[in-house]
Structure 1
């Protein structure tokens, strides 16, 4: 098989949408500068394969990013790597690379037997200070910083520190053993897995990948993200081409977005802590017609690529500090269109799964994380279990 043939068969098996550090939740605000340091991060892929490459990102960087060395391995507990699985990553044959500001870079492929649902350890050495870190905030998988070049360290040294974001990595791609298609989920914090137990892979897209067994499910949720306006991460309409349509092996898109557009637009306006929170979300309030039009745009752009488009209804949020009756009415209006408008190839009715039968504006107590907004592990499991797997066959 030629390299061209291999390129045609690449499929994305893991992803994390890139953000600027200042457009996230602020997890890096008090973190020491990233300079002369090794980052070790663990990701769990959906489907496996026989060749692997990593997409590193400097897409929100304000200057060049130098990667002095990088290594891929199967992860072992506690930040260690599985002996014999280590692969040195190169870039056009070189062990180091400088990534221009605003750009990603793909590593050269490495031969690797990668099982479905495998945990990968990705280590990269940063010899120079990273002025602006492109990241995904927060990371629900523990990552570490190690002083100096420790890319090849088999275990974590005692001086390792915590890394609170997914830093400088945006995708894992593989060549599958059999034809396959990627399922990309575009969403907000409820897609990202906010409220779930860290290091357990309990976001609903990851749990869906488990049900599919060899499912290439790519989670492109951003906590706090909106469809129509930037704020926490670029708006879904703005990042759709990069995070979804450019996905190798794309076969299906699940749109699970719009909840924050509604919640922020109809949130209570006061002078308290909520007012400070809302400052993170610029732009004028939007209407239900705006949210529906945004969905139609995303659907049209996906269908141009010949992929199926599924939509999820918006789950309840009464009991959270963002709730208002007007916001609830808007949620119901958009959900009615999602269910009956005929715009999607299929609808995943997450509202019905999560809502309290006795109080439909609220999430069931056992399905939220204590904030009446985000899922618990059980809540995300219920969403994943509700999905008809035949939609992806």
Structure 2
């Protein structure tokens, strides 16, 4: 929905929730753990309408996200890494969400940086707010509201929002527009019992981002994995660093920086991370065969180049002492990505993931998702309409393929 220039407006973001930062007195060195994240992307057009290229002015954004593990103290991370000018936050609040864009008024807190309610995120940088005491339970939904009084210019995003100064409104009435994107919001960190187990980062492309799952339902595979761990009485942060269309080896203005480049920010830069699950390579393969890939130029990538990219990711992770799990690439038969050439590449990459010993453990999605009738095709019960991505049942099957013991 287009925002009319020069009129104040409010937008509710339905897929992102961010929490305020803990009280500085309560924070301990190394005590923070990421409990929700979104990987920042360059301002661009995308598969769905968004405000990234236009940016915001005199508008309020309320974004609601579901965290994975709770805590007694929280902080929000805001990203302006792809901004060309400083991002001025005129005011911001955080609260527990109570459905849609509404919040529990008694939990609403003003966010600050350096003790000030108005603050600036420098161009090319990320900022964590001051600590805020707020009791959050595992799998809670949280609403973060930003008031942007001055023109922002093109916005760093993985989501969107817009409004006049309604940041302290507990009601959802002012938020009449919605989006499936997030803007500026890049992470929610907590300090709590679960955070001591360490965060798991799910790193990948649209299969990690959850394309094909029911919007607003939190049925992506990292969400489902977080639910499994919480139900087993061992909650821990499980954060999603997937970007639709992302590749291991190729940069794209619309589909994100290549995996080997963004890994430092999106995985190693997350507080409290101990384990990473890597699922990338299908787009490198598929876009090598599809002559007119969506939102990206044609680029030929070999299986050996993808494997070299995986080795690079493993090396980066091991340098920081992380446990690294490799996920095999699911079948693609029946989709636009499937040809004899792409299948040979997929099988070569999967054989290396399974047998090289480079990963600490393997999540064999190829076998977990395969149809009983045809191992080169995903089980029809798991497929989305495009026959490449998954539905809610498919993403649940992905989460079930992860052995909690392998997470360390």
Same fold (TM > 0.5): yes
1:307 Cα deviation from its structure 2 partner: 1.1
RMSD: 1.9
1:295 Cα deviation from its structure 2 partner: 0.4
8 A Cα contact 1:63 1:132, kept in partner:
no
Deviates more, 1:1-10 or 1:79-88: 1-10
CA distance in 2, matches of 1:158, 1:122: 15
1:286 Cα deviation from its structure 2 partner: 1.0
User: Is 2:105 aligned against 1:83?
Assistant: yes
Compared with structure 1, are the counterparts of its residues 30 and 169 closer, same or farther at alpha carbon in structure 2 (3 Å cutoff)? closer
1:23 Cα deviation from its structure 2 partner: 6.9
Structure 2 unaligned regions, length at least 5: 1-22
User: Is 2:295 aligned against 1:295?
Assistant: no
Indicate the residue corresponding to 1:340 in structure 2.
355
Compared with structure 1, are the counterparts of its residues 5 and 164 closer, same or farther at alpha carbon in structure 2 (3 Å cutoff)? closer
CA distance in 2, matches of 1:299, 1:331: 19
- The count of aligned residue pairs is 379
Indicate the residue corresponding to 2:243 in structure 1.
222
8 A Cα contact 2:55 2:155, kept in partner:
no
CA distance in 1, matches of 2:73, 2:174: 33
1:144 Cα deviation from its structure 2 partner: 5.1
Indicate the residue corresponding to 1:258 in structure 2.
281
Indicate the residue corresponding to 1:183 in structure 2.
200
Indicate the residue corresponding to 2:341 in structure 1.
326
CA distance in 2, matches of 1:60, 1:378: 35
5 Å matches for 1:3-18? 3=25, 6-18=28-40
- Once the two structures are superposed, residues 189-213 of structure 1 have per-residue CA deviations (whole angstroms, 9 ceiling, x without a partner) of 0000000001110000110000111
Indicate the residue corresponding to 1:161 in structure 2.
177
SS of 1:293's partner is helix
8 A Cα contact 2:53 2:153, kept in partner:
no
CA distance in 1, matches of 2:52, 2:399: 35
Compared with structure 1, are the counterparts of its residues 159 and 290 closer, same or farther at alpha carbon in structure 2 (3 Å cutoff)? closer
SS of 2:29's partner is helix
CA distance in 1, matches of 2:284, 2:265: 21
8 A Cα contact 1:53 1:107, kept in partner:
yes
Indicate the residue corresponding to 1:272 in structure 2.
none
- Once the two structures are superposed, residues 219-253 of structure 1 have per-residue CA deviations (whole angstroms, 9 ceiling, x without a partner) of 10000100111111111111000000111111111
CA distance in 2, matches of 1:30, 1:215: 32
5 Å matches for 1:1-393? 3=25, 6-22=28-44, 24-25=46-47, 27-28=49-50, 33-136=55-158, 139=159, 145-146=162-163, 148-157=164-173, 160-177=176-193, 179-213=196-230, 214-231=235-252, 232-267=255-290, 269=291, 275=292, 277-278=293-294, 280-282=295-297, 284-393=299-408
Deviates more, 1:156-165 or 1:127-136: 156-165
Structure 1 unaligned regions, length at least 5: 270-274
1:100 Cα deviation from its structure 2 partner: 1.5
8 A Cα contact 1:229 1:283, kept in partner:
no
- Once the two structures are superposed, residues 257-276 of structure 1 have per-residue CA deviations (whole angstroms, 9 ceiling, x without a partner) of 11111111122x3xxxxx2x
8 A Cα contact 1:145 1:160, kept in partner:
no
Normalising to structure 2: TM-score of the pair? Answer: 0.89
- Once the two structures are superposed, residues 50-90 of structure 1 have per-residue CA deviations (whole angstroms, 9 ceiling, x without a partner) of 11000001111121111100000000112100121111100
